[in-house]
Structure 1
Amino acid sequence: MSIVPAHISLITVAVADVAKATAFYEQLGFARSKIASQESVSFFQAGPVVLALWGRDEQRDDAQAAELWTGNGGIVIAQNLPSEDAVDVMMARAEASGARILKQATKTFWGGYNGYFADPDGHVWEVAFNPFWELDEDGRVKLPE
């Protein structure tokens, strides 16, 4: 029996309107896969993982989660960037794309710099610079061992 590595391949964000959400994420700079995407679902390469946008009702029904589904379950999607300036640029891009700024970017108690926004469906995003984490050339976090 082989060991299955622990990793995340795909994050699905359940949305009210796939077309509207797709336009928002494209304005943030995500490139939609035209081949993999369909009218009912959009797929974006997001570093080593795939970000998917799928209808909220379809996701709830597919997961058979009607009793559990209440919308955002307290999950925050985060994007780590290489500098405070890059955080400011992304927060401005998010706001210009229609995001609601929840917390303007500011220095943190732990020595970093972050801000939060909500996408049009209320999904919370953190945009952060962590001076203690290295990013590789593709922007992936390389955790200290």
Structure 2
Amino acid sequence: MKPRISMITLGVRDLDVAIRFYEAGLGFPRMESPPEVAFFTLNGTWLGLYGRAALAEDAGVSSEGSGFESFALAHNVGSEQDVDDVMAQAVDAGATLVKKPQKVFWGGYSGYFKDPDGHLWEVAYNPFFWVGPSDVDE
């Protein structure tokens, strides 16, 4: 077995707003799906969007929660300029800037934003570790 994360599903408060953010705002390619869920094809994985209450019900947990959710999603890009570009694109699409892109202690360059539902995303350039689309093991 090859370890991998095949899909990340985010519970969202307003599916239409979330779809606009990821599809129109960030340019993620959307797949055909039933109206109560949205799937986006990414390099090596998929992103799913599903109603927060419905996702919590499916897992058998409460949908109530606030503050830091104990994880961040990361989008690694090929240069510092790419970090700046993706961050600007996200903010233009409705994201909230959390941390401006900057040089970081580990030798890279990164920043953070929150999507319209508060999911934390890091956009990073790591000069020591870069996985691009041609590097993904199908």
Q: Same fold (TM over 0.5)?
A: yes
Per the alignment, residue 23 of structure 1 pairs with 20
Q: What secondary structure does 1:117 align onto?
A: strand
**Counterpart AA for 2:20:** A
2:83 is paired with a residue whose SS is: helix
Distance, in Å, in 2 between the alignment partners of 1:141 and 1:126 is 20
- Structural mapping, 1:101-120, within 5 Å: 101-120=97-116
Counterparts in 2 of 1:11 and 1:18: CA distance versus 1, 3 Å:
same
SS at match of 2:121: strand
The superposition leaves residues 44-89 of structure 1 with CA deviations (integer Å, 9 ceiling, x where unpaired) of 01110100000000000000012x8625621100000000000000
- How many pairs does the alignment contain? 135
**Cα deviation code 1:72-118 (max 9, x no counterpart):** 62110000000000000000000100000000100001110000000
In 2, the alpha carbon distance for the partners of 1:58 and 1:83 equals: 38
Instruction: Write the letter of the residue equivalent to 2:81.
Output: D
Whether the 8 Å contact between 1:80 and 1:141 is mirrored in structure 2 is no
Gaps of 5+ in 2: none
Aligned twin of 1:89: 85
Q: Could you tell me whether the CA contact under 8 Å between 2:12 and 2:117 is conserved in 1?
A: yes
- Following superposition of structure 1 onto structure 2, how do residues 69-80 of structure 1 map, counting pairs within 5 Å? 70=65, 73-80=69-76
Distance, in Å, in 2 between the alignment partners of 1:139 and 1:19 is: 32
Letter in 2 for 1:44: F
Structure 2 residue identity aligned to 1:111:
G
What does 1:1-145 correspond to in 2, within 5 Å? 4-26=1-23, 27-33=25-31, 35=32, 37-66=33-62, 70=65, 73-136=69-132, 138=133
**Take 1:140 and 1:95, find their aligned partners in 2: how far apart are those partners?**
28
Cα distance in 1 between the residues matched to 2:116 and 2:135: 26
Considering only aligned residues, what root-mean-square deviation do their CA atoms show, in Å? Answer: 1.9
Larger Rg: 1 or 2? 1
Name the one with the larger helix percent.
2
Distance 1:139 1:117 in 2: 26
Aligned to 2:19, what secondary structure does the other structure show? helix
**Percent sequence identity over aligned pairs:** 43
- Describe the shift of the 1:139–1:115 C-alpha distance in structure 2 as closer, same or farther (beyond 3 A): farther
Q: Do the aligned partners of 2:107 and 2:127 also contact (CA within 8 Å) in 1?
A: yes
